[in-house]
A and B are shown apart, each in its own frame.
Chain A
């Protein structure tokens, strides 16, 4: 019996080791920092805000920016599948690109919010000086404002989310739409904070107080086109003039140099997405979507063979416009920076090899997209990789925008203007493009100039929206009068003219034109969101946001 006792005692000993188990069961992450142990220094704050300039925007930049920003308003001819539905205005709330655009912009909001909400508390606790904290929050508030500005122009009334952590923790998942005026006010407050706390100049690529002023000018201009209020126009003028005159920033002398990787974060750039080659999601994927062929990218990611600038766009490009080769490639263009090792790339409508096999085929409007197409890894010193990643930054806002914003604000509600300052700024843009100056400006002059200047930069829909606020019926009939769906067909017959000449093709009107209605001017909220939250359904009222 003694023996049993011994063993039972041993057993009891083993079983009373629970004290040790408490430590045994405490395991903290071994390969990542924990949230509350970060933001201890200015450098860590910088590493936190660095996350706002790339990846969360990826899905927006990847497709939405050009299907909605350029194909929808008639700049980009692209008819394929769900992407093409934007060109035809035939998408609905289930469209994958619509959903991804929405998700991406709200992802930007959630990244920003986590900094705006966590940074002051945590960094404050570590005793980081207030100016660094405010600057970090300022970056985040600028970027949140930018995302909301895009959301407002595409979707109109959207829910304002300031702190997803508390909303989710309190199980407050169902939010109403907020009125557009609330959203604009929300953006204005963010920009006001950013303007106060961001620096005059900062490390290359970081937003500054001038970035905030530039967006503020656009915000007021947008509000002005809707309200017709002189106060709004004046604010837009003040902000853009201040920026142009006092920021020390300058236009790049050569437009085409804007779109070269080596000129990332040049003095014209006010806010650009900061891409880096390598992994999927951290680089700019637009080249993969737009490049015509593997000959240009040096890899298989080149899906732009059937994408062109529309006939309507090209006929608005004046002869001798120096911007054309930087926006799209067409017959006669030569690019020494692409296929450097082969002596550059010359555009041919149909490109064949020695055996007469087709390497590159005719695009629908006999041109292909150039903007954000930068060439292969070898052409760029390794700044292009597969995984759809180039290191070419995406312009979200550049100084040229402020020049044209001033002109548009100076025009105000008038039919035309010959305001000297407005003409000066406006003609600065034209002169860089090698075009003759104008002596007076109408809204259509400015709209057309913006269309070309920012062609394929995902901007035109927002310009059309301001046109629409200013004059809804004119804007809709403008879209309906576009020759966006015209395409070229090869001349048939026994002896057709050279396939590499314009004579070899005939311009064909579409079998039916693209028709646009006023109801098309606001995008539907994605179906998945509405199934979660019925308050986002069409027809549900928007409420005023309660600012605290």
Chain B
């Protein structure tokens, strides 16, 4: 019966409409090859089809019908059916092949008319790989855009930089605009763990993870100021315009896409196994006072491997996605409706993420001159975050947890260490599974627009949009009994946040052609937006059981709560004038004025102008038509954009509440500065768009220089005048200093081979950016970032005038002292107080410098190693990054191989401070520590304390000796912990097969594709940690490439299918 049904329908329809089956082939006029994917539609109806891989098609039509053949890059042709049953059509290439339309702020433009630096990511590129989140789709795909994952955690944070970071302490994340509604890319906080003791790790998740990447059809990246200035205040870091799928007139299409993936952690670090660890303990105990040898370790050879903690915490994890979409409509109304489900487990146990989304996009022509439309999207995400990317995180703890501790004891309970020291470690498996940190988010975004075209040349559009966010974070710290670590007090912190953002903008666009080749598009508008947010946080303790971490179960006493509430607003006027002359000369002028609630009444408004011009050289009469040079456009632009991305009311001072023994107390939050005003970034851009051999090779090259001035910074002051921590009466915010970014963006796309069955295309892009602080409030000012207050990393990075952001700052390690003489001849690292007027090193095993300690370079040559010998020892910023993609299609097969590389730049491998730092014999260490500095005695019967009797037994050692209190500060911030960050990664390999339309159309399937995909296949690098892509800790521009046990990116194997009816 099932087989009969279509047949039956066929007859019925045949009878009613007297239609017949029209078949034919669509070919390109130029080379006679079939064109796949051409839309063939019966004019005025919803009946349509698409040509198959050979250009062939079949459609039902009656003799009076007109068939419309359309395809991007070709001129649309309309053919009356008449009494033919076979219609072969030869399509002419559209000479304006560049006539793509590009979304720009508050409107759209022909790509050929663009004067600024704008890059697009097409749907084709977006569909070429498998992404959990939008940001991954951008990595390495767009010149000038640097995307780094801050964590491999499912739903983990990301940093996106368009042409470098513009702000020292503020956000450098771009503005995302989804179908006209702005969306801030700053990370979202979680309950974290610092409140429950210990460090926090990266307590931030990815805001973009609430967007379903399957709904997106294109992303436009506005890079230079002439393109972004129309967004004024929030555009300092560049703008990403995201467009979601809309319906098209025609028969409804149903598509279903899914994939299933398996993710693995790419590599393991080599840590000591039990025999190595036992030997390390014995060696250490023999050389240091007060450490007792464990009797069981006396013969390491009889010991097994012990627990491999890395294997215990890493797992092979599944990921899957399902997406169902329906699109369609009539000439007057169209719709696109989709729903998706995505689920991902982490490669570290205990972490996962899932997302449900729904989107409805509607457009309807109410009258000839009124279009009305609405978008509504809802997303629900749910993630479980382990404590990661930090010194106390699961990964770090798995590295240092001794191999002699089992995961579980004989009674099946989680085990733990037997010695209680200050840097004691948690059982990472127990920690991952029992310490719960979850975040549930709900986001509803939508907008309604009305578009009026009262007369031909004028259109007026008014948009009202909103973005409603709710988040519920829960962090639970259980009671436990893990070895000597006992906790009898469980506690829960619940954090509730909600915010509502709304925007209303109205603008008018007037398009006119004066004849004589002059044309103008003028646009002017106004906009108001406001955010309101509030939240609360409740902590309760002593839950009856770890199994029900719900607030009602905690005790009333000892409850701590907190709440916050705030708002900010922006009001704007903007306008743009595009002028073109004969498609040769193009000019764009924009102006925007923004008022912000974040500044005092005198300084609320900022004005941001821009200007750009372009010259299409190939359209000049004097240019001969050439087969080589198809198109050449030169562009130049200048513009200014603003930044107000700071906290609220920073120009004034509010009172901070403190919980004290006397009840609630108040203190000043900061020193106020009523003169605070806008930060401005000015940018020059010069670009060239070049098209060769009829579009077979396209090159876009841009060079730019950006200056950020009046930076919004918290003054850095000596601590006797205040500070910047929560504890301090904060130093004021002020407009100080300036910053410069300059660089080159290059993109080359080429069609290398295009024959009947085989096509090979290549995309290459190259991103180079140099940034430098050019001015601060004083010559000696600097901004430091430290890693853990108790560590030797008080100035892990320093940012000062003349240096890039977040450079690594410390001592230069010059190897290891071989003998006493070398120590005595070296600059003073630990002063011998008895030396008198000729300072020298104290050579002493416990209180001074000893053989096997690290030698630091006396940079200023004053004979003393002190803080004046700290210098910039590394730069986290890469020299350049690139993406290189090759696509091959052969008949129904397509293969894409994508490489992404980042060259230059350094990583501060802080994990090594812990895995090679030897701060305690009760922590496991890297296998490299087995070859730490070992001391030999010249006279074996002599004292091991006698400097003249000791030498370095392994002169090639690179890791210093064990020392209980590290008087020489071998673990201080030094070049010892820096590594090269260069890597080239096979980012993506995908192989797909699209079944021939001839075959699938029999089952009424329009398109069926299956594919396999491997992401993050292999990384070529010399970096010794898990993954050389580190990102910025907590999105902080001054904390880039600091590896504190970062959650590595998984390698992902995917199989998937896309089907469209």
A residues apposed to B, CB below 8 Å: 3-4, 6-8, 11, 14-15, 17-18, 21, 24-35, 38, 44, 46-51, 53-56, 58-59, 79-85, 88-90, 92-94, 96-97, 99-100, 102-103, 106-107, 109-111, 114, 118, 158-159, 161, 164-165, 167-169, 171, 173, 175, 203, 205-206, 264, 274-282, 293-295, 298-303, 305-306, 357-361, 364, 376-378, 382, 385-388, 391, 393, 487, 489-490, 508, 510-512, 514-515, 517, 519-520, 527-534
Contacts and interface: CB of A to CB of B under 8 A. Distances in A.
Interface string B775-804: 001101010100001111011000000000
B847 A512 contact: yes
17 contacts: A7-B508, A21-B571, A24-B597, A44-B666, A53-B662, A79-B964, A114-B729, A203-B662, A264-B661, A280-B195, A301-B197, A305-B421, A377-B542, A382-B557, A385-B558, A511-B289, A527-B794
Given A55-B658, A56-B727, A14 B506 contact: yes
Interface residues of B, number: 120
Interface stretch (B56-64, B562-570, B752-760): B562-570
B728 A3 contact: no
B489 A282 contact: no
B289 A487 contact: yes
B721 A4 contact: no
A173 B715 CA distance: 11
Most-contacted residue by chain A among B665, B716, B720, B945 (CB, 10 A): B720
B933 to A, nearest CB: 19
Contacts of A360: 420
Interface stretch (B264-272, B645-653, B898-906, B923-931): B645-653
A94 B671 CA distance: 28
B845 interface: yes
B825 interface: no
Contacts of B534: 31
B661 A276 contact: yes
B662 A205 contact: yes
Given A7-B452, A21-B595, A27-B648, A102 B719 contact: yes
Interface stretch (B341-349, B454-462, B995-1003): B454-462
B1055 interface: no
Interface stretch (B102-110, B204-212, B357-365, B480-488): B480-488
Contacts of A300: 197, 480, 485-487
Nearest to A307: B422
A118 to B, nearest CB: 7
Interface in B524-572: 524, 526, 528, 530, 534, 541-542, 557-558, 560, 563-571
Contacts of A94: 792, 794, 867, 969, 972
Contact of A21 (B420, B528, B671): B528
A20 B197 CA distance: 48
Contact of A29 (B458, B654, B794): B654
Interface string B934-976: 0000000000010000000000000000001111010010000
Contacts of B460: 7, 11
Nearest to A520: B833
Nearest to B731: A168
B1056 interface: no
Contacts, number: 350
Most-contacted residue by chain A among B197, B530, B660, B972 (CB, 10 A): B660
B660 A276 contact: yes
A47 B719 contact: no
Given A24-B528, A25-B596, A528 B792 contact: no
Contacts of A281: 727
Nearest to A533: B718
Contact of B727 (A6, A50, A107, A358): A107
A31 B420 contact: no
A512 B846 contact: yes
Contacts of A358: 418, 484
A386 B289 contact: no
A528 to B, nearest CB: 6
B560 A361 contact: no
A278 B659 CA distance: 9
B723 interface: yes
A385 B489 contact: yes
Given A54-B660, A300-B486, 20 more contacts: A15-B526, A18-B571, A30-B566, A34-B653, A47-B662, A48-B667, A55-B727, A79-B965, A85-B967, A94-B972, A293-B486, A301-B197, A303-B422, A305-B420, A358-B484, A361-B420, A377-B488, A387-B196, A489-B290, A528-B784
A502 B847 CA distance: 29
Nearest to A489: B290
B516 interface: no
Contacts of A295: 486
Contacts of A489: 290
A274 B649 contact: no
Contacts of B972: 94
B529 to A, nearest CB: 10
B689 interface: no
Contacts of B196: 386-387
A164 B653 CA distance: 14
Contacts of A109: 720
Contacts of A6: 454
